[in-house]
Structure 1
Amino acid sequence: MAKRYGGRHSPQPRLDGTDPRPPARPRPGEARHPLESRTRWVTIMAVPFLISAFWQDPAGLATHLIAFGAIASGMWMTREGLQAEAAYDARRIARRPAIPRKLFGGILTGLGLAIGAYVPGAEIGAGIIGVAGALLHWLSFGPDPMRDKGMEGVDTFQQDRAQRIVAEGEAHLKAMQDAILRTGDRRLEAHVAMFAATARELFTRVEEDPDDIPAARRYLGIYLQGARDATVKFADLYAQTQDPRAREDYENLLRDLETEFAARTRKLIEGGRTDLDIEIGVLRERLAREGVRPAAPAQTAARNADPAELERAMTLDDLLIPREGEKQRR
């Protein structure tokens, strides 16, 4: 009986339901907005303007062609805006898009509808149709992101630097995955994909905290470039010779790189926790110098309280009527 292949290097989850790979991080440009397909349908619905233009007089020909061009351009810009919004939503720290593409796409769409509906003497009606089209565009696709996300206290220069370094690393990973396709081996492709997912965990850490760039610079540059060159050379050799020893050496290299990248990511996270502990300790010392003390008695009383009393729901009488123990202390 046929069984589905599963294992450490399988592109599918293991047979026991667990997945040994870290969660994949989408590459720039991979994120897709769920409304992106709508732009294609709107462009298709504007095709009658293009077809009917060739049965019009010269003025009508120009009007219908401009109408179709405006709607198609508006949908193209809207699609670009949706892709930018998807990339914005996929990241924890992101800047708002520099150009509000969906806003301009709505304006172009409304303008195209107004031009397509224009007839001499009915300018007001054409304008109403254009405004309605722009409004429906806004209701259908929503507004552009207008605020930066998670950028409070982040050095914008360092953030731009981190994005450039991550983009270079993504290019190296893409070259590795393209090169390994020449071998035609799905197991090797899955192993490279696993390493790419591990590397992208480090990318995410650097993007979220650009101060970690000095500690991860070699991993994002030299090591990834070396892994790319090794992958290209291995793919060329293995596609011709099918040498099992070369395959074993390459897989061992990927395992070592995967281990090193995962360890570096853990060290960066632990370093961030250490910095947080230091900040909390310094803040507590300052509060102590100001005479502020933690509410230890209340915490102690809560820990020593009867569990049955803690689980019992309190009533208004419990709040207004003193208990017997409190009366005796008084």
Structure 2
Amino acid sequence: MARRFGGRFSPQPPLDGSVPRPPARPAPGEIRHPLESRTRWVTIMAIPFLISAFWQDPAGLALHLVAFGAIASGMWMTREGLQAEAAYDARRIARRPAIPRKLFGGILTGLGLAIGSYVPGAEAGAGLIGIAGAMLHLLAFGSDPMRDKGMEGIDAVQQDRAQRIVAEGETHLQAMQQAILRTGDRRLEARVGLFAAAARDLFAHVEDNPDNIPAVRRYLSVYLQGAGDATAKFADLYAQTRDPRARQDYETLLNDLETEFAARRAKLLEGGRADLDIEISVLRERLAREGVRPPPAPAEPAELQRPMTLDDLVIPRQTDKPRR
């Protein structure tokens, strides 16, 4: 008998009927923009300004060094802007970057090209090259995000508070991942990585719903700080003794914390669903009081209301025709 294909990498649901989990939120240092490597190539192509500077007169030396420095600084600023844009795109609720880094990077790049191509008596040509370079920078890297995303109806103060708490939690997670490296055990490193993924799922929920901060503040501060301290002490002990009992106790601690984080996130999601059901019921009652009714569902034909049998497929139905 044929079986439907499905599995971990299949777009269909798993065969066991379980609901697949959403992809884990990446760490801040793991977010990369696809255009980030272009900045390195532009900086490499500006190296001739740096090399040729030592065969110029003092004024030419200064101009070429300034040109290379402006282009390199512009590419560094552009790379920072691309990283900020990648973090902006990875979140459902995000504020626009406070500093338009890609815009400043384009200005510095155009300025560097103008200075590098400057020739006495041909200032207009150098200016045109600088403007062309800035326009090409805009076409190659795009513009900075200029609008907030998903911030309608969200308290800005609460959102800032949520970002500070999440940043503090990320600090504890990074300290845990750095401390476990002292053990030299890949399995323990992977286990801490799984725990960090579960914690980042809760981080994402807090950023999307900053009103739930009081319910998870203890998990994002006290629990994570305690887990970081326990990881540091365990790493120092296990690196010297390789005690299996200490390892088992530490893995049990991570299992308990991960289960608690997942349960807290599920409880918050259920609370949000309950609030949504209440809002829907209130709106329906209000519409009913105002005399607004949903349109009735279309009635099914009579032949569709009764189940179809094999006789209906084999024996054609006899329709009653009026006699003449």
TM-score normalised according to structure 2 size:
0.85
Confirm whether residue 204 of structure 1 aligns to residue 209 of structure 2: no
Q: Output the CA distance in 2 between the equivalents of 1:160 and 1:73.
A: 30
Q: Output the CA distance in 1 between the equivalents of 2:186 and 2:301.
A: 61
Say if 1:85 and 1:145, in contact at 8 Å, map to a contact too.
yes
Q: Output the CA distance in 2 between the equivalents of 1:57 and 1:84.
A: 40
Corresponding residue number in structure 2 for 1:268: 268
Structure 2 matches for 1:37-186, cutoff 5 A?
Answer: 37-186=37-186
Cα deviations across residues 37-89 of structure 1 (Å, max 9, x unaligned)? 11111111111111111111111111111111111111111111001001111
Say if 1:24 and 1:200, in contact at 8 Å, map to a contact too.
yes
Corresponding residue number in structure 1 for 2:282: 282
The letter of the residue matching 1:205 is H
Cα deviations across residues 180-210 of structure 1 (Å, max 9, x unaligned)? 1111111111111111111111111000000
Q: Output the CA distance in 2 between the equivalents of 1:142 and 1:253.
A: 46
The letter of the residue matching 2:59 is A
Q: Structure 1 residue 306: deviation in Å?
A: 6.4
The letter of the residue matching 1:173 is L
Provide runs of 4+ in structure 1 moved above 6 Å. 306-309
Say if 1:66 and 1:115, in contact at 8 Å, map to a contact too.
yes
Q: Output the CA distance in 2 between the equivalents of 1:242 and 1:307.
A: 74
Q: Structure 1 residue 101: deviation in Å?
A: 0.7
The letter of the residue matching 2:117 is A
SS of the counterpart of 1:149? coil
Q: Output the CA distance in 2 between the equivalents of 1:45 and 1:215.
A: 53
SS of the counterpart of 1:25? coil
The letter of the residue matching 2:39 is T
Structure 2 matches for 1:188-227, cutoff 5 A?
Answer: 188-227=188-227
Q: Output the CA distance in 2 between the equivalents of 1:187 and 1:193.
A: 10
Q: Output the CA distance in 1 between the equivalents of 2:249 and 2:70.
A: 57
**Is there any run of 5+ residues in structure 2 with no aligned partner, and where?**
1-17, 306-324
SS of the counterpart of 2:29? coil
Q: Output the CA distance in 2 between the equivalents of 1:192 and 1:268.
A: 24
SS of the counterpart of 2:30? coil
Inter-CA distance 250–22: structure 2 relative to 1 (3 Å threshold): farther
Number of residue-to-residue matches in the alignment? 288
Q: Structure 1 residue 22: deviation in Å?
A: 6.5
Q: Structure 1 residue 290: deviation in Å?
A: 1.3
SS of the counterpart of 1:250? helix
The letter of the residue matching 1:90 is A
Q: Output the CA distance in 1 between the equivalents of 2:48 and 2:269.
A: 57
Q: Structure 1 residue 289: deviation in Å?
A: 1.7
Cα deviations across residues 186-244 of structure 1 (Å, max 9, x unaligned)? 11111111111111111110000001101111110111111111111111111111111
The letter of the residue matching 1:246 is A
Corresponding residue number in structure 2 for 1:15: none
The alignment yields a C-alpha RMSD, in angstroms, of 1.9
Corresponding residue number in structure 2 for 1:321: none
The letter of the residue matching 2:130 is G
Corresponding residue number in structure 2 for 1:319: none
Corresponding residue number in structure 2 for 1:228: 228
TM-score normalised according to structure 1 size:
0.84
Cα deviations across residues 135-165 of structure 1 (Å, max 9, x unaligned)? 1100100111111111111111000000100
SS of the counterpart of 1:291? coil
Say if 1:29 and 1:87, in contact at 8 Å, map to a contact too.
no
Corresponding residue number in structure 2 for 1:259: 259
Inter-CA distance 45–62: structure 2 relative to 1 (3 Å threshold): same
Q: Output the CA distance in 2 between the equivalents of 1:31 and 1:305.
A: 55
Q: Structure 1 residue 29: deviation in Å?
A: 3.2
Say if 1:22 and 1:197, in contact at 8 Å, map to a contact too.
no
Q: Output the CA distance in 2 between the equivalents of 1:210 and 1:49.
A: 50
**Is there any run of 5+ residues in structure 1 with no aligned partner, and where?**
1-17, 310-330
Q: Whose RCO is larger (CA < 8 A, sep 6+)?
A: 1
Corresponding residue number in structure 1 for 2:28: 28
Residue identity (%): 82
Cα deviations across residues 89-134 of structure 1 (Å, max 9, x unaligned)? 1111100111111111111111111111111111111111111111
